[in-house]
Structure 1
Amino acid sequence: MKLYHVSLFMLLLVSCSLSTNTEQGFSNKNITLQDNRLSPEIIWQLGRVGNVSVSPNQKTVLYTISYTDIKADKSYSDIYTIDIETAERHQITSSKLNETSVNWSPDGNKITFLSAESGSTQLWTMNTDGSGKKQITAIEGGIKGYAYSPNMQQLAFVAKVKLDDDIHDLYPDLPHANARIEDDLMYRHWDSWADGYYSHIFVAETNTNLIRDNYTDIMEGEKFDSPMAPFGGMEQINWTADSKNIAYTCKKLSGKDYAFSTNSDIYLYNIADQTTRNLTEGMPGYDINPLFSSDGKYMAWESMARDGYEADKNRLFLMDLASGEKKDLSIGFDQNVGALAWSTQNDKIWFTSNHQGPEQIYNVSIASGTINQISTGQQNYRSVYPAGEQLIATKTTMNHPAEIFAVDIETGQDKELSFANKDILAQLKLGKVESRWIATTDNKQMQTWVIYPPNFDPNKKYPTLLYCQGGPQSTVSQFWSLRWNFQLMAANGYIVVAPNRRGLPGFGQEWNEQISGDYGGQNMKDYLSAIDALAKEPFVDEDKLGAIGASYGGFSVYWLAGNHNKRFKAFVSHCGIFNFEQMYSTTEEMFFVNWDLKGAYWEKDNPLAQRSYANSPHKFVGNWDTPILVIHGQKDFRIPYTQGMAAYNSAKMRGIPARFLFFPEENHWVLSPQNGILWHREFFRWLDEHLKQ
């Protein structure tokens, strides 16, 4: 069989030589492609834009671009700026030191960043042209994040502190013993085991040349993390405008209580008297990401109402700091909010929200509570920052990785500024992306994306893939993915059908919440409605349909494998839930399964829970009749890898063609470049074997 994937060196002609000197940066900017078709190797070599921020004078955009050296299996980032008025771009650094957490100093005179140049990750600063690099901290063990106070007289930073004993503390005479002793839940999270260390916030004066000591742990002795694991960052920590207080996000629970709860709060630490108070006490769901107005009057934050429900409506809350009054600025707005940013005049808050597929830009008036939609069209705006009479935003589409755009506040029209991938994208032929509305079995209309192969010919018949989204509450939006990339699937000759089935945000809270307690129910009918509608098209080969997905999408594939009535000829499930009882007993964040499955499998008098467990995919294995590729990572603690092993073993024992792709070093995702490329090669090898031959 002829494989599509070929050697990187046959695929790409690098037209510039790159030094391996550690002082020389790495870039894929000047690559010339030998083929106009998207490939995994090209995806991994595209520049990834990040760390976007606007200078305090709102004249310059600061950002990073990361490029991947596939041969070295590493990515390297450098710092860039854009003059907003002239759109001129400047590269500020060129090294393999990987500057991260890049930002402006509050006065705009310095660029701040984290670097491991000194041997551990520390805070550095430099002039805005890249000169005058200076190390600011020398904290033992390094730091994970930082935030200068607005007056720049103090620095908050995040570092790990050890508060729990391990076996070698308990038994120092057994230095070679290797074991764990657990007495409660949440002993591991996402892809890491609890190690006795906690992320704490420290405060130091900035009037010394190098901060080594003389700092204060504002959470001293507390066995809690801020930012919250596993994905929280410095957006969860912020200074008040007067530099007198630090607000931080924390879930001050432990063990079983932590595992079953989403009740995080925002705490305010007073620098002068070293006291802490809970600003969101009595609000039981997630309360995160405090953001203060520059006039010192208000704090905005993101809030969910219900404890234990991680996919509850994400609301925009406002607190009057003088009176303590709280109000929901998003009441009546049947969508989630995110990426909050105060306007320059403090009269409104900018945010992004998913609406029927794409992520758009909105603002809300502080005075009236009126919400206005600024942008339209098929794109995802993922962040937004005011810059004079316009906005600076990062944007993706299914045809385009993240880039920086200037957005006109009045018209919502945007223009690209960063152009990190302009030259490579100009060499590619991409497929058309179409939005369709498809009728469901309960007479609803479901938005569905259809992605066509490049050079699509309506007179031909194409193998077609049903994409099953994960989450489960995660919109099929205009994202660009290193793994679930629809344009890459289209480039391999497949039509992709990606429905926003029941249980996804952006279509109202009722649509989003329907899935809880109904795994294997209406959302599965929605999947089949989408693929059945497209199978009627003359250009879809209804004898060559496949279903693919990860996480909840992986569960969906397992469930469809036992309930598809011979629609599909191939399945691919990545990190999917196979056995609900096993999942409930082995996952880490118990609030997820407890809410969505509506309880434990031993609750025999709980009809909602029992309905969930009756729809566990492993109970339908007797109906499996279709080849399946199972993929899983050993460090996946959200859906433990034994779920994938059980599904694969079951298929093989039933005599069904099956393959198991196992990554010992990956978690719920596939993060390393070479593993990512291998993932795609096996993904398409399997589909081509069963849908093209």
Structure 2
Amino acid sequence: MACDNKKENPEARKGYKTPEQKLSSDIMTPEVLWSFGRISNPAISPDGSKAVYGVTYFNKEEDRSYTDLYVMNLADGKITQITDTDYNESDANWTPDGKRISYLAKGQLWEMNPDGSGAKQITQIEGGINGYLYAPDGSKIAYYKDIKMEPTVQDMHPDLPKAKARIINDQFYRHWNDWVEGYTHIFIADYTPAQPITSGQDIMKDEKWESPVRPWGGTEQLAWTRDGQKLIYTCRKKYGIDYAFSTNTDLYAYNTADGTTVNLTEGMMGYDKNPVLSPDGKKMAWESMERDGYEADKNRLFVMDLETGKKKDFTKNFDQSVGNLAWDKDNNTVWFISDYHATDEIYSLNTTSGEIKKHTDGIHNYTSVVPVNGSLITTQVSMSKPAEIYRTDPATGKDEELSFINKPLLDQLTMGKVEKRWVKTTDNKDMLVWMIYPPHFDPNQKYPAILYCEGGPQSTVSQFWSYRWNFQQMAANGYIIVAPNRRGLPGFGQEWLEQISGDYSGQNIKDYLSAIDEAKKEPYIDENRLGCIGASYGGYSVYYLAGHHNNRFKAFIAHCGIFDLEMQYYTTEEMWFAHWDLGGAPWEKNNKIAQRTYANSPHKFVGNWDTPILVIHGQKDFRIDASQGMAAFNAARMRGIPAQYLYFPEECHWVLGCQDGILWQRTFKAWLDKWLK
């Protein structure tokens, strides 16, 4: 986190982590938004009786976060806070015997009793570790840490200790918000609780690739076999420019007895990741994409017989992607989450019959699911509520909230109505559009409205809760939000999702306009006070619409948007993404799809710009370089168009700092208020 660099006396913050705030208004503000507790997915004890999880709160004055651990008794819902320190505890789980809780603190692995007593440091690894996984028999621990492998200027020129430079010889030298100076490697050590573990066996020694795979990968990309003899891990074993153009990760099994490694998914060319073993250890389920270089491909559910190596795609006739796999104790049922019509719901697969069953339906997203003694322990979020832990009945789909972390704040707030409606597109398709209304909405008044353009471009416009693109916060500012599930989004079949690739300026742009044109027919929307906002590909959409909106909008906001598509191709790091989605390279003059893409780059239509625009960008955004935002702002000002540039020198593709996040919200509101009110 950008602001986790300060300490304080723990006595000075007693009670802060479960704040009892008395609000002066029932309308949400940025300060209230950043006061919500952020709950992690719960880890369930082996006997299914308890859950351990973390809750993070931000301290605005210190500009940093605190994460502490809680234990819930699942039978009666009783919750006990078990840590209270001036540092963060995270990645909590249970030791294989269920007697202790494991967690990370100060860069090392620790254990303690379920009541928080008896804390003991388990590792003393130089430089710290990033994550860990116990073998099921408790005999070993796998941990991963960053290994410096690329020589620095000082390594090559020791007489130049103050030189501030990098010498780069191949592509993929930076990723998302980090310079690639090393690789995350997995180590295995014997578990010796009597004395701290100081070193382990690097199972990827001298290999210039990482596991887990950046940028999202964590412990979910690793799995032990039940006998503790093999560790299965996710890896893309490519380097430099080959890595930059490929999504081909595989699942590898490392044998602790002889040190050999076997590729379990050889010949499967897309993403293969997140292995989950059945309780009896005989089968492995995992998520798999078919095509190399296409990161938005359908995420399939594969199952392998680990004895024979035989594998099967159980989602061949299921036109949705899967995620968050979890085996039931019957060794036959796999639970998972899938996006359907803009909500993330819970499904199950019967591996004997092949039947896939949908268990839930509502205005919410599930973000995790764990089967426990006939019920499901889940985490659930919506546009109107941050994540909380629930118990879900798989037979009825009914939920019972268990954690109530944010109830004291939510009880004081009035949230705007969230409405689902279907709109006809220009090619006569049905498109789902979310409408979010201001608190205390009065249909007899007229309100300004904002068209929300989703990023990705293949990200979901589902029931997510964001601390930046928070629809309830936007609505609380007095706006109606129009959020269409335009072409290129998941949840409506693979054909709907894939239409956008190679057609950034095509049908999905028309879908945006269909949504806002239909919405502005409502008598309570003032068609003369419409705004348009978006980030990443949504920022591209804003820049493109700025040159093609035919006077619909009176204000634009683009965050980390693509302004110049050719420059995006040359400067982004994950080349597989740009190459696939843009249709090819700019120099491929006979490639009609690619040339159409670059011909419709937003920067080519600046001559049509006529509307005030706020541009936001972070210097550490390596996905879409900060120069894109500077260029768009400069272009607007050179055209004489009112513009503002909000620049974050320490932020990346997101805004992660507390005070930066509040500044973002304040600037966002002020710009829209200036031009739409």
Question: What is the TM-score normalised by the length of structure 1?
Answer: 0.96
- Quick one: which amino acid aligns to residue 525 of structure 1? K
The answer to whether residue 183 in structure 2 is matched with residue 193 in structure 1 is: no
Q: For 1:50 and 1:509, how far apart are their aligned partners in 2?
A: 30
Cα deviation, residue 214, structure 1 = 5.1
Cα deviation, residue 231, structure 1 = 1.6
Q: 2:644 aligns with which of 643, 659, 668?
A: 659
State the secondary structure of the residue aligned to 1:210. Answer: coil
- Which residue of 2 is the match for residue 421 of structure 1? 406
Superposition map of 1:346-385 within 5 A: 346-385=331-370
How has the CA–CA distance of structure 1 residues 214 and 47 changed in structure 2, closer, same or farther, with 3 Å as cutoff?
closer
Q: 2:375 aligns with which of 379, 383, 390?
A: 390
Superposition map of 1:14-413 within 5 A: 20-21=10-11, 24=14, 26-116=16-106, 121-195=107-181, 197-207=182-192, 209-213=194-198, 215-413=200-398
How has the CA–CA distance of structure 1 residues 25 and 298 changed in structure 2, closer, same or farther, with 3 Å as cutoff?
farther
- Quick one: which amino acid aligns to residue 34 of structure 2? W
Decide whether the 8 Å contact of 1:352 with 1:361 is kept in 2. yes
Decide whether the 8 Å contact of 1:23 with 1:94 is kept in 2. no
Q: 1:543 aligns with which of 519, 528, 531?
A: 528
Please give the per-residue CA displacement for 1:263-301, whole angstroms capped at 9, x wherever unaligned.
Answer: 010100011111000001000000001111111110111
Decide whether the 8 Å contact of 2:433 with 2:483 is kept in 1. yes
Q: 1:577 aligns with which of 547, 562, 570?
A: 562
Q: For 2:389 and 2:68, how far apart are their aligned partners in 1?
A: 16
Superposition map of 1:618-657 within 5 A: 618-657=603-642
Q: For 1:105 and 1:186, how far apart are their aligned partners in 2?
A: 37
- Which runs of no fewer than 5 residues in structure 1 stay unpaired? 1-17
Q: For 2:228 and 2:10, how far apart are their aligned partners in 1?
A: 44
- Which residue of 1 is the match for residue 4 of structure 2? none
State the secondary structure of the residue aligned to 1:21. Answer: helix
- Which residue of 2 is the match for residue 3 of structure 1? none
The answer to whether residue 430 in structure 2 is matched with residue 445 in structure 1 is: yes
Cα deviation, residue 24, structure 1 = 4.6
State the secondary structure of the residue aligned to 1:351. Answer: strand
Mean CA deviation greater in 88-97 or 182-191? 88-97
Decide whether the 8 Å contact of 2:434 with 2:484 is kept in 1. yes
Q: For 1:335 and 1:209, how far apart are their aligned partners in 2?
A: 48
- Quick one: which amino acid aligns to residue 111 of structure 1? I
Cα deviation, residue 560, structure 1 = 0.4
Cα deviation, residue 207, structure 1 = 2.7
Question: What is the TM-score normalised by the length of structure 2?
Answer: 0.98
Cα deviation, residue 602, structure 1 = 1.1
> How many residues end up aligned between the 2 structures?
670
Cα deviation, residue 176, structure 1 = 1.6
The answer to whether residue 504 in structure 2 is matched with residue 504 in structure 1 is: no
Q: Give the fraction of aligned pairs with identical amino acids, expressed as a percent.
A: 58
Q: For 1:153 and 1:24, how far apart are their aligned partners in 2?
A: 38
Aligned alpha-carbon RMSD (Å):
1.1
Superposition map of 1:586-601 within 5 A: 586-601=571-586
- Which runs of no fewer than 5 residues in structure 2 stay unpaired? 1-7
- Quick one: which amino acid aligns to residue 384 of structure 1? V
Cα deviation, residue 605, structure 1 = 0.5
Decide whether the 8 Å contact of 2:10 with 2:85 is kept in 1. no
Q: For 1:422 and 1:536, how far apart are their aligned partners in 2?
A: 37
Cα deviation, residue 543, structure 1 = 0.0
How has the CA–CA distance of structure 1 residues 328 and 41 changed in structure 2, closer, same or farther, with 3 Å as cutoff?
same
Decide whether the 8 Å contact of 2:121 with 2:196 is kept in 1. no
Cα deviation, residue 22, structure 1 = 7.2
Superposition map of 1:472-487 within 5 A: 472-487=457-472
- Quick one: which amino acid aligns to residue 171 of structure 1? H
Cα deviation, residue 211, structure 1 = 3.4
Decide whether the 8 Å contact of 1:58 with 1:386 is kept in 2. no
- Which residue of 2 is the match for residue 6 of structure 1? none
- Which residue of 1 is the match for residue 508 of structure 2? 523
Q: For 1:620 and 1:272, how far apart are their aligned partners in 2?
A: 62
- Which residue of 2 is the match for residue 10 of structure 1? none
Q: For 2:375 and 2:510, how far apart are their aligned partners in 1?
A: 44
Decide whether the 8 Å contact of 2:9 with 2:86 is kept in 1. no
Decide whether the 8 Å contact of 1:29 with 1:421 is kept in 2. no
How has the CA–CA distance of structure 1 residues 582 and 387 changed in structure 2, closer, same or farther, with 3 Å as cutoff?
same
State the secondary structure of the residue aligned to 1:545. Answer: strand
Please give the per-residue CA displacement for 1:150-206, whole angstroms capped at 9, x wherever unaligned.
Answer: 0111111111222222211111122122211111100111011121x2111111111
State the secondary structure of the residue aligned to 1:560. Answer: helix
Q: For 1:179 and 1:301, how far apart are their aligned partners in 2?
A: 41
Decide whether the 8 Å contact of 2:126 with 2:198 is kept in 1. no
How has the CA–CA distance of structure 1 residues 25 and 227 changed in structure 2, closer, same or farther, with 3 Å as cutoff?
farther
Q: For 1:131 and 1:25, how far apart are their aligned partners in 2?
A: 20
State the secondary structure of the residue aligned to 1:45. Answer: coil
Q: For 2:237 and 2:202, how far apart are their aligned partners in 1?
A: 16
Q: 2:538 aligns with which of 553, 556, 561?
A: 553
- Which residue of 1 is the match for residue 5 of structure 2? none
The answer to whether residue 553 in structure 2 is matched with residue 563 in structure 1 is: no
Cα deviation, residue 38, structure 1 = 0.5
Q: For 1:162 and 1:483, how far apart are their aligned partners in 2?
A: 33
State the secondary structure of the residue aligned to 1:610. Answer: helix
- Quick one: which amino acid aligns to residue 155 of structure 1? I
- Quick one: which amino acid aligns to residue 29 of structure 1? P
Mean CA deviation greater in 153-162 or 427-436? 153-162
Decide whether the 8 Å contact of 2:123 with 2:198 is kept in 1. no
Q: For 1:336 and 1:631, how far apart are their aligned partners in 2?
A: 32
Decide whether the 8 Å contact of 1:25 with 1:94 is kept in 2. no
Decide whether the 8 Å contact of 2:319 with 2:494 is kept in 1. yes
State the secondary structure of the residue aligned to 1:147. Answer: strand
Cα deviation, residue 500, structure 1 = 0.2
State the secondary structure of the residue aligned to 1:204. Answer: strand
Decide whether the 8 Å contact of 2:43 with 2:93 is kept in 1. yes
Q: For 2:16 and 2:197, how far apart are their aligned partners in 1?
A: 32
Cα deviation, residue 486, structure 1 = 0.6
Cα deviation, residue 25, structure 1 = 6.5
Decide whether the 8 Å contact of 2:189 with 2:197 is kept in 1. no
Cα deviation, residue 149, structure 1 = 0.4
Decide whether the 8 Å contact of 1:51 with 1:102 is kept in 2. no
- Which residue of 2 is the match for residue 5 of structure 1? none
